[in-house]
Amino acid sequence: MRNVTVGIEMFDCSICSKPLSPPIFQCSKGNSICSPCRDKLLESGRTATQRCHVMDRVVDNILVPCKYHPRCDRKVPYY
């Protein structure tokens, strides 16, 4: 599949809005959350979470051009 467009904000944490990077968790309401936000939720005792392995694989495969050197042909994960 080529030329697919997806809103990149879909891959942001539902709590802090930072880009998701593995390990990614899903709260009991189905929202994707980052590891630091999950830790805060667990400390407060507010919700149960589970690991979301499929989102780990998705964000690991969103590759963008290297932004550190203009002639670099390397692709890196977007986060």
pLDDT of residue 26: 94
Angle (nearest 5°) at CA 15 between 41 and 60: 100
pLDDT at 1 over 70: no
In 1-79, where does DSSP find H-type helix? Answer: 35-44, 53-60
In tens, the pLDDT along 37-59 reads 999 988 888 777 899 999 999 99
Cβ–Cβ < 8 Å for 12, 19? yes
Domain residue ranges in the chain: 8-77
Collect all residues with Cβ–Cβ distance below 8 Å to 59 and sequence separation of at least 6: 11, 19, 20, 21, 22, 24, 77, 78, 79
In tens, the pLDDT along 2-51 reads 777 888 888 999 999 999 999 999 988 899 999 999 999 888 887 778 99
* Domain at 8-77, CATH from 3.40.50.2300, 1.20.1260.10, 2.60.40.60, 3.30.40.10: 3.30.40.10
